Structure 1
Amino acid sequence: MPVMASTLQTPASPVRPATVGETDAERRKRLRTVVAASLLGTTVEWYDFFLYATAASLVFNTLFFPDQSSFVGTLLSFATFAVGFVVRPIGGVIFGHIGDRIGRKRTLAITMVMMGVATALMGVLPNAASVGVVAPILLLLLRIVQGFALGGEWAGAVPLSVEHSPERRRGLFGSIPQIGLALGLALGTGVFALLQVALDDDAFLTYGWRIAFLVSIVLVVIGFVVRLKVDETPAFAEVTELAQQSSAPIREVVTPPNTRNTVLGLLARWGEGSAFNTWGVFAIAYATSELDMEKVPVLVAVTIASVVMAALLPVSGLLTDRFGAKPVYLAGMAAYGVSVYPVFALFGTENLVWFTVALVIVFGVVHALFYGAQGTLFASLYPTRVRYTGLSVVYQFSGIYASGLTPLILTALIGAASGSPWLAAGYLALTAVISVVATTLIRRDDLHLATGVSAVEAEHEPRASAPVTETEPVPVG
């Protein structure tokens, strides 16, 4: 069993340049900047990435694959959506290496610019009617750039937030990048719904959808400026000062003693990835094609559920600080597993009210419970020196099977079952079971960030003036 210790308890530990001599006012200002950088940055990048997902359900199958049947066109559109997830691990490994070598701040600035440029260029792409097969090829290439850039986003935003956090607010700060994802999805679906209300069908398909993509330029500029203002994390500053950066982070992540946590992390995320891309992506296509619901009300329903999730994610973060990341993640994942069949039953009523209620419960509430704890839990799997790379590997490699392929798998399963959703629902429930088992097997002694300190324990523990930067594992509640 590893010795449980931290540099907070080591007298020889060097001073952290980002926080030494910091006044309360300076500390509050630093934390506000960190929150803004994490929240705005992830919101912008996920807006860009999931804007494509919404367009894949409503636009790209018609404009870029027009000669196919509705079913095949949707499959092809989702296939280009999945490509973004396939290339994300490559970006994750490369940006993870850069982030663990030169820092979180500069790496995140690079990923944001790449994502913004790719998304804006999608907004000016010619369609298949204009340039034929060149159109879907260009769309695919830009999707690859999107996926490559996003590969380094989440895994950098989480350490940026967690490693700046006050010691007893690690769970809350770890939930901030997740809020950006929910807001990014809400913005994407909300903008599409607004444009469809403001424009008729012809105008929307001709130029309206492009506006949503071009708006990305403005959002990227704002997010980029904010991210340039944030300090490098105290944890990484200490690693740099001690010259302890890993020369080969990816090798450390996949070899002992990190192998076990990497495998369990990959499996623990399966349920989360399948859940998000079912309720946030697939549900739109399912409702509009299989259930014959109107596009705008469906988009509004997803937007409402996303906003509810964004509002509840900090609650999950506070629960993480109180009970620990692992118990909160387990509770949420188990709730997801048992809710899948009832949710599809409500979808089957083909009633918009019940569709919205189901989405708000399973996506807005249940998803928020485990998703708010996820960032802190997965950040705890790795020490500071390889945390960016470790998070990239777990999040992005699992994204291939857990996220990117989910709409394809569900579409195929429903097609094989002649329109019945129950086989697809069984697949989703299975992913939840896998994640529950994997999370249960994560050992608290193998984790590297302390959370779940109770109020009573906190009163009897010494207070730290700066975030903990561990060199050896410390227990997580």
Structure 2
Amino acid sequence: MQHDNNRRLNRQDYKTLSLAALGGALEFYDFIIFVFFAAVIGDLFFPSSMPDWLRQVQTFGIFAAGYLARPLGGIVMAHFGDLVGRKRMFSLSILLMALPTLAIGLLPTYSSIGIAAPLLLLLMRLLQGAAIGGEVPGAWVFVAEHVPRKRIGFACGTLTAGLTLGILLGSLVATLITTLLPAAAIAHGGWRIPFFIGGIFGFIALYLRRWLQETPVFVEMKSHKVLSEGLPIKSVIANHKKEIVVSMLMTWLLSACIVVVILMTPTYLQKQLGIPAALTLQANSMATIALLFGCICAGWVVDRVGASKTFIVGSLFFGICSWAFYHLVALDSTWLKPMYTLVGFSIGVVGAVPFVMVRAFPAEVRFTGISFSYNLSYAIFGGLTPIFVTLIMRITPMAPAYYVLTLAVIGLGLGVYLNRDLNNESKIEARLAEAGQ
């Protein structure tokens, strides 16, 4: 099951990357737009008598529920993705995301139906979580199995940048709404607009994926009758424990960096530092654009120097940048835009995370292995991170800085580990030759 791994990316490769990245961007927008309006949603979906900090915790708790639902949706979709095809599950996830996104925009608030309001909001987030649980791992597998092996890093980095574009779309839409509408208008219905837009985006993405083709790796595995026998998840847990642990730690790095620096920081800047919402969202958009380019750069670099050097240097860089950002902005808000942009670019090292995960598992259980590791880790770390950081901020307002610095240490440790074990090229090349990519 070999194909030309030394060729350059061709027109079909770029088409696949473009459509996959754009579809992922539209779906990721649907999933994260919630966090940009967390403050407004918290005011509308919980009692006004509730303390502000508790309302924030409960709102982020509902946000976290989407992450907690990811493992189940991801494992189910990955199971069928390894047995019946990558493309089918890659398209199904879109539909499962668009419908609850539209529903959130239609939900009545606490003042209309009481406790049923946050419960319905929770249900919609669970459905969104199940959908995104299959989307991201499936997308990485899909593009990695289309491109030459020596271009996997660039492909995965580009796709991760596409997911980042979804965050940027959310930030831009939130910026436009908060800039053009007064706070009262947003509270009285303006917050619903981005969810309606998200539903439309979802159906556009579903249409676009009609033009994608099944991966050559899966087609060849099917023709040679070497698809996984039995339950793929059973094989993954039994035979790939080390790969699961490494992939979960990689996912913690990826998820928490984006959750804290990109998704939580605008609310942090508004609540803790008193910076106007419009200004923080403008800076957030600049940081997200920088993150997009950072992911592509990390993918390009990891193809050339390997995962170990990429994560050692990249983790040191984003640790220094993030620490400087939170401290300087707390002292002088004029640092906001340039430092937020720099820290956004620095966390682009997470664009190299899927490179390690795709190469860790053999093709016949690749979708399941990545999905299980990624979604379980995201449920634990990505989902609980907002709650944890919010609670720690009651002790120190610099909680985000300390948390991100901890992530930099984890990234550095992973880089050192990859240098002596998982990134051993002879082992990887042997595994890839045996797996078919």
Q: TM-score, normalised by structure 2?
A: 0.92
Q: Distance in 1 between matches of 2:412 and 2:381?
A: 14
Aligned residues: 429
Match of 2:236 among 241, 253, 261: 253
Identity of aligned residues (%): 28
The letter for the 1-side match of 2:343 is: V
Corresponding residue number in structure 2 for 1:358: 339
Cα RMSD of the aligned pairs, angstroms, is: 2.3
Q: Distance in 1 between matches of 2:330 and 2:186?
A: 29
Matches for 1:43-192 after TM superposition, within 5 Å: 43-56=25-38, 58-67=39-48, 68-192=50-174
The Cα of 1:218 is off from its aligned counterpart by 2.4
Q: Matched residue of 1:415: which SS? A: coil
CA distance in 1, matches of 2:436, 2:18: 29
Secondary structure, aligned partner of 1:407: helix
Residue type of the partner of 1:64? F
Structure 1 position 471, deviation (Å): 2.3
Shift of 1:232: 0.5
1:373-384 → structure 2 map (5 Å cutoff): 373-384=352-363
Q: Distance in 1 between matches of 2:424 and 2:112?
A: 59
- Is 1:390 matched with 2:369? yes
Q: Distance in 2 between matches of 1:163 and 1:54?
A: 34
Alignment of 1:335-346 (within 5 A): 335-346=317-328
Rounded to whole Å, the distance in 2 between the matches of 1:183 and 1:260 is 32
Q: Could you tell me whether the CA contact under 8 Å between 2:253 and 2:350 is conserved in 1?
A: no
Q: Which residue identity does 2:172 align to in structure 1?
A: G
Structure 1 pair 428–84 and aligned structure 2 pair: CA distance change class (3 A): same
The equivalent residue for 1:287 is 269
Pair 1:314–1:333, CA change in 2 (3 A): same
C-alpha separation in 1, matches of 2:201 and 2:432: 33
**Partner SS state of residue 434, structure 2:** coil
d(CA) in 1 for partners of 2:211, 2:25 = 17
The 10-residue stretch of structure 1 (308-317 or 110-119) with the greater mean CA deviation from structure 2: 308-317
Decide whether aligned partners of structure 1 residues 447 and 131 sit closer, same or farther in structure 2, where only a CA change above 3 A counts. Answer: farther
The question of whether the paired residues in 2 share the 8 Å contact of 1:447 and 1:473 is answered with no
1:44 Cα deviation from its structure 2 partner: 1.0
- SS of the residue aligned with 1:299? helix
Distance of 1:446 and 1:219 partners within structure 2 = 41
Tell me the secondary structure at the aligned position of residue 59 of structure 1: helix
Distance 2:191 2:96 in 1: 21
Q: Distance in 1 between matches of 2:85 and 2:37?
A: 34
Q: TM-score, normalised by structure 1?
A: 0.85
Q: 8 Å contact 2:20–2:159 — kept in the other structure?
A: yes
Mapped to 2, the partners of 1:255 and 1:212 lie a distance apart of: 43
**In structure 2, what is the equivalent of residue 425 of structure 1?**
401
Distance 1:149 1:201 in 2: 32
SS at match of 2:189: helix
State which of 284, 287, 293 in structure 2 corresponds to 1:311. Answer: 293
With over 3 angstroms needed to count, the CA separation of the structure-2 counterparts of 1:160 and 1:212, relative to structure 1, is: same
Shift of 1:305: 0.8
Residue 373 (structure 2) pairs with residue 410 (structure 1)? no
Matched, 1:38 2:20: yes
* Inter-partner Cα distance in structure 2 for 1:298 and 1:196: 11
Which structure would you say has the larger Rg?
1
Long gaps (5+) in structure 1: 1-6, 9-15, 451-467
Secondary structure in structure 2 of the residue aligned to 1:348:
helix
1:200 has 2:182 as partner: yes
2:408 is aligned with 1:471 = no
Q: Evaluate the alpha carbon distance shift between residue 285 and residue 167 of structure 1 in structure 2; reply closer, same or farther with a 3 A threshold.
A: same
Q: CA 1:143/1:253 → structure 2, altered by over 3 Å: closer, same or farther?
A: same
Between stretches 397-406 and 185-194, larger displacement belongs to 397-406
For 2:249 and 2:299, the matched residues in 1 are separated by: 22
Deviation at 1:95, TM superposition (A): 1.0
**Aligned equivalent of 2:351:** 372
Q: Which structure: greater helix fraction?
A: 2
